[in-house]
Amino acid sequence: MSPLGKLAAGVVVAGAATFAYASVVERNLFTLRRFDVPVLAPDAEPLRILHLSDLHLTPAQQRKQRWVAELAALDPDLVVVTGDNMAHPDVMPAIERTLGPLLHYPGAFVFGSNDYSGPVWKSPFSYFSHRDEYEHGVDLPYEELRSLFVGAGWADLNNAHTTVKAGGRVVELIGVDDPHIGRDAYHSVLASSTSDLRLGLLHSPEPRLLDAMSADGYQLLLAGHTHGGQVRVPGVGALVTNCGLDRRMARGLHRWPGTDSYLHVSAGLGTHPTAPVRFACRPEASILTIIPR
């Protein structure tokens, strides 16, 4: 074989090995990330928030179901779920097994587009161009999911505002339904509070909403949707976010520019079922410890 032929063969083998790792190994390497968020008054006791997002769960994903259920052993003060829980119309029994142990804790949630309808195949290269009109797939049992969460006492924050008792204190929360599909109505939600911790929830971290929430004094904004880029290039990071967020903020904890608020974007625990790969971007849940400034 010629040197050029050997090079080509090597590239093919390396590409196949990388794809196999991304589609079989890394997408199942669930990891727990930890962050300290310094927003409380100096004498306040810390509060621990478990942030979950983008499970994209199907009935067959038993490893993911077990891993998430075991997070209850962390004994969080508050559980926050920022959408895209489902990827199959018959997934509710699996959802109950997965999140059931966490429903014993105070919680709050918003929905993402893939709570309302199932996945539709699209070319991965379309994420590099202007977003196409959202395509609806099979209907998903989002009202059953809502009933499960609300029945456990979790706060439904789809275009809503409330307070919850968590960790021995009152926490104020505001949230919107998924802006990725135009269901958000932030400015229709009336909110006023004197609580010492204010959280904002949304699925897709659109800058216009992050600006509004931070301007209204919400100290920590929680979102998902980006999958952390899902495929990241070492030294470069996420290539796309599938929303208006700067790709440098595609995952992790960041100070929202020009404000005192923090933004945490979860890289999520799943993938779109038509693109079941992750590379340099392990699926994750996060423990956010809210601490004094």
pLDDT of 29-57, one tens digit each?
999 999 999 999 999 999 999 999 999 99
- C-alpha distance across the termini of the chain, in Å: 64
> Measuring CA to CA, which residue among 186, 175, 36 is closest to residue 108?
175
Band (pLDDT 50/70/90 cuts) for residue 23 is: low
Percent of the chain whose pLDDT exceeds 70: 87
Radius of gyration of the chain (CA): 19
Please give the pLDDT value at position 130: 53
Please give the pLDDT value at position 16: 42
Please give the pLDDT value at position 114: 95
CA torsion 266→269→271→276, rounded to 10°? 140
Q: Which residues pair with 177 in a beta bridge?
A: none
**Contact indicator for 278, 230 with CB cutoff of 8 Å:** yes
CATH number, domain with residue 37: 3.60.21.10
Distance CA 154, CA 15 (A): 44
**Contact indicator for 170, 195 with CB cutoff of 8 Å:** yes
Could you give the number of structural domains in the chain?
1
pLDDT of 156-214, one tens digit each?
999 999 999 999 999 999 999 999 999 999 999 987 777 889 999 999 999 999 999 99
Distance CA 17, CA 132 (A): 32
Please give the pLDDT value at position 22: 55
Token pair 């209850």 in the structure block, residue:
72
Q: Across all residues in the chain, what is the average pLDDT? A: 89
Return the amino acid letter for 183. R
- Helices vs strands, H then E, count in the chain: 6, 14
Distance CA 119, CA 109 (A): 21
* Max Cα distance, the chain (Å): 74
Band (pLDDT 50/70/90 cuts) for residue 3 is: very low
Percent of the chain whose pLDDT exceeds 90: 79
Distance CA 70, CA 169 (A): 25
Burial (CB count within 10 angstroms: exposed 0-12, middle 13-18, buried 19+), residue 278: buried
Q: What is the DSSP string of 253-277?
A: EEEPTTSS-EEEE---S---TTS--
Burial (CB count within 10 angstroms: exposed 0-12, middle 13-18, buried 19+), residue 24: exposed
Domain of 43, in residue numbers? 3-292
What are the start-end ranges of the H helices in 142-248?
A: 142-151, 207-215
pLDDT of 242-286, one tens digit each?
999 999 999 999 999 999 999 999 999 999 877 889 999 999 999
Distance CA 286, CA 35 (A): 8
3-state secondary structure of 221: strand
pTM for the whole structure: 0.90
